[in-house]
Amino acid sequence: MELEELIVEIVIGLFLLFTSYQIGIKENITLLHGYHYTQLDPKDKKVFTKKIGIGTLLVSIGILVMPIINLISHSELGYYIGLIL
């Protein structure tokens, strides 16, 4: 595994982790496409942002796990495990 690949995967995972925090915890709904939050009833905003935040969190965990497992196993096993997560 090349160092550049490791750095890119970690940066993308951290960015998605930050995005999931902003959407799920801080309820910063403007990070989503305009149509999605303009068509949303304001009373459903909390539930909607929580679900989107959890989904983004799961994707970020999968991306962050990939390079760690690849480093430990010295193979491409992390890609398969990251996809499963």
Using the predicted structure, report yes or no on whether residue 41 has a pLDDT greater than 90: no
Reported confidence tier of residue 58, pLDDT bands at 50, 70, 90: very high
For range 11-17, the mean pLDDT? 96
Average pLDDT, the chain: 87
Reported confidence tier of residue 80, pLDDT bands at 50, 70, 90: confident
Number of domains within the chain:
1
Query: Which pLDDT score is estimated for 77?
Result: 83
Which of residues 15 and 30 earns the better pLDDT score? 15
| Integer Cα distance of 70 and 80 in angstroms | 10
**Residue range(s) defining the domain that contains residue 40:** 3-84
CA 41 remoteness from chain centre? 25
